[in-house]
A and B are shown apart, each in its own frame.
Chain A
Amino acid sequence: MSGNFHVEARSGKARIGSIKCSNNCEQGFQGRKVLDTPCALVLTRKGSLPNVTNELFPLTSREALVQISLLDFAVFNANDALGGAEVISQYGKGVHGFCSLKGRSTILSVRAAGSQEFLFDVGARKDLIVGELRGQTQRVKVTVDDLLALQQAMSCEFFEHLSVAAPPNASKKQHESSVWRSLGFLDETISRRSSCKGQLLGVVQGGFEAEYRSLSAKKTAERAATGAIGGFMISGFGFGETPDQWETAVAAAVVELPDELPRILTGDGSPERVLRAIELGIDVFDCSYPFDVAEFGIALALESGKVLPGSAPFAQQPFSRCAYDLCGSGQHVNLNDGEHELSRQQIIDKCTCYACIKHTRGYLHHLLRVQEMLAETLICIHNLFNYNSFLKAARESIRAGNFDEFRSNFIRKRRQDAVSQGSSYPQ
């Protein structure tokens, strides 16, 4: 076993731990990369946060893993018909050097956070899937060897193998195919990876039926016993599934997974869903949420959830909100609102992010109004910071043994705030 993950404390099934990222992946990097979990795996585009150049990356919190999207690099450069593997391997300093991700830990993901574009099974071939690149109609073939070549060139700390998802209401045949073909890809990847650096993540698929999720998790966990796997990626979400379907799938997968390896969940990373995922035992979740809302001029104001003394634990809330329904969430500042025009307040009081230290709500409101791109850059920086503070608070509550309370208070508070804020997004 790689011993790169340690569970430090638990509250129910929720756990905090730390991931030590093997730093032989980043050449020239001396420091130790240790990440506290639960933490986020943040979306990037070509290795850069959306609208935040990596030149500004030091301004953002380090408490997150960085997601490197396979398709961004597989079709690196459409005009030149060049793949990222070719370019980056010639460059020779991995994705960290190429994208200037100094000291960050990365995961090569097959599907970008929040995206619904990728993964079409093309049938019988055991070495190939087809994807659809963001913003383009062209379909892209990716083989196991393509993926390994890319990982070899990029040296991400973790990488995910190819897999096949089953949408909600898929047929029995599709479910079986999702489980077995994904395992086939895993075995193929293990047998072909040879000297390829980085920890392989075993992907759990199986759609939204407990039976198949559980089967996929069990079979993937068997491969972990040989030490071939450094963690698990529970994947195949974002197909319009209901919260119940989502919960069924995640819960069925997690119970089958060994305790000593990190569990990474794909999706969009909305706060309610993340808290539920933590409660089910998830350690890392990929997230586009802070950026998705920034696109609308929404700054996050997630409360770091001090548990109020004497507050009665809220009855376990069924997870009934659609994760994509950002509108109903409360705990945000809509910087488009005219009320901020003359505001010299920072986005949220006492926030120490770069945007809050430097700028007022009034200025950000102006930038949004005149559609200046600096608006989104600054809001992304704040949102990521706020999101990470929220996760830090969640970790603290697990350490203190009162995560359940933290979660139910948070959800109740969000509902109240949503109501009092009138909870609507622009357009």
Chain B
Amino acid sequence: MIGDKENVHSACRLEIEAVCGKARATVMHLPHVSAKTPMFMPVGTQGTVKGLTTDQLMEANAQVILGNTYHLALRPGGDTVEAMGGLHEFMNWPKGILTDSGGFQMVSLLRFSSVSEEGVHFQSPVDGTDMLLTPEKSIELQNQIGADIIMALDDVVSSTVTGPRVEEAMHRTLRWIDRCIAAHARPHDQNLFGIVQGGLDAKLRAMCLEEMTKRDLPGFAIGGLSGGEKKDTFWRIVDQCTGKLPTEKPRYCMGVGYPVDLMVCVALGVDMFDCVYPARTARFGTALVKTGLLKVKSSAMAKDFRPLDPGCECTVCKSFTRAYIHSLTPKDGSTGAQLITLHNIAYLTNLMSEARAALLENRFPDFIREFMHLQYPNGDFPAWAVEAFSSAGIELSSANS
């Protein structure tokens, strides 16, 4: 199967519009959307992004949203999603969808799971019976769900694990990708992305990159990061991967959602991101703003009549003040969390389109410097970010000179 272009088709065409160092602005033509990258993809685990209507997501400029195969397979089930016309039709979302393989969810959410050559063994959280998710089953489920981009089942180990288990997982991920490719029934309208593993070990990453890129897949993801590893290691692995991944294919860094991390990855050449962070942090009353984080519950907000983020064009910022959102408590229902979630998603999609505009207008380094100075007004940038941007040819300090 390796490199067998006859059997591996692509339903994705990548148009690179601008490049600055490794960073790039592209248009990713997918079956349901021509997505402008770099882009942030909100997570809609169970066929809905926390409390938001699909029109609100459109207004927040979401282009591709994420569905979790594991959750959808449990409820309503792959057969039901398929019978309802696939996930796009089921949730009435006309733009792009990406589904994960389900493997990560099992390993991270379930206590009783284990991995063998066959697949991921787990106990059904519904009835406790022994279940097995094989690469073939994952792809079958994702074919039923019908997303624009589907992910290969990989052998996930936590990014903080070291030793032979990491190497084993890397090799198994490579064996499984071929099983995924073979099982994929809809290559004409669904794009199977391979996932580069190898933990934090540069040698293993290099091997995995070498082998994975031999497969003519429509796109590649960088997996196994965002699990609590040191930022200094994180960016170097991303840098290593984007250096080796083919430029003409989309690159997706999984699970990254903090604004500074996102900008570092964009500078290093990543095109797409997903994270539950904007919705999760909203539920704790935190809004993402140009100057960092805004704790909406803080009593300083009680009489603050500015929008969450002055200058933000989202519908929440156009209509509501910090003081109003501050006054909403759980006993008033879910509206407070809904409003902050909507703003947070709009913030991240907007951050991405600003980065994109800067790339198109050939002023990306200035944009990054301005972004970082707003996030760190005292100029106390984290050392890892300074180094990461520098390796991408962007010196943070020159904005002051």
A positions within 8 Å CB-CB of B: 45-46, 48, 50-56, 72, 76-77, 79-80, 82, 84, 87, 90-91, 98-100, 134-136, 341-342, 344, 354, 358-360, 362-363, 366-367, 369-370, 372-374, 376-378
Contact = CB atoms under 8 A, between A and B. Distances in A.
Contacts of A376: 334
A91 B323 contact: yes
B76 A366 contact: yes
Interface string B333-361: 11100110010000000000000000000
CB-based closest 7 A-B pairs:
A135-B331, A100-B319, A373-B51, A45-B332, A80-B302, A370-B46, A46-B332
B34 interface: no
Nearest to A343: B84
B320 A46 contact: no
A246 to B, nearest CB: 29
A341 B76 contact: yes
Given A354-B53, A366-B90, A373-B50, 7 more contacts: A53-B335, A358-B55, A360-B90, A362-B84, A373-B334, A374-B53, A377-B51
Contacts of B50: 372-374
A107 B321 CA distance: 22
Given A55-B339, A76-B327, A359-B92, A374 B332 contact: no
A369 B75 contact: yes
B91 A100 contact: no
Contact of B335 (A51, A134, A360, A370): A51
B326 A45 contact: no
B83 interface: yes
B316 interface: yes
Which residue of B48, B71, B303 has the most chain A CB atoms within 10 A of its CB atom?
Answer: B48
Residue among A48, A56, A362, A374 facing the most chain B CB atoms (10 A cut-off): A374
Listed residue (B71, B83, B323) with the most chain A CB atoms within 10 angstroms of its CB: B323
B333 A51 contact: yes
Contact of B323 (A45, A87, A367, A369): A87
A77 B298 CA distance: 11
Given A87-B327, A342-B84, A374 B342 contact: no
Given A72-B332, A341-B80, A363 B338 contact: no
Nearest to A54: B319
B305 interface: yes
Q: Size band of the B side of the interface?
A: 35 or more
Counting chain A CB atoms within 10 Å of each CB, the highest count among B305, B315, B327, B339 belongs to B327
Nearest to B50: A373
Interface string B230-244: 000000000000000
A87 B333 contact: no
A77 B327 contact: yes
Contacts of B54: 358
Interface string B76-92: 10001001110000111
Given A76-B327, A358-B92, A82 B339 contact: no
A99 B319 CA distance: 8
A100 B339 CA distance: 12
Contact of A372 (B48, B84, B303, B342): B48
B18 interface: no
A50 B333 contact: yes
A233 B48 CA distance: 41
B94 to A, nearest CB: 11
Contacts of A53: 335, 338-339, 342
B75 A52 contact: no
A46 B46 CA distance: 29
Contacts of B316: 55
B299 interface: yes
Contacts of B333: 45, 48, 50-51
13 contacts: A46-B327, A51-B335, A53-B339, A53-B342, A55-B56, A55-B342, A99-B324, A100-B324, A358-B53, A363-B91, A366-B46, A372-B47, A374-B52
A330 to B, nearest CB: 28
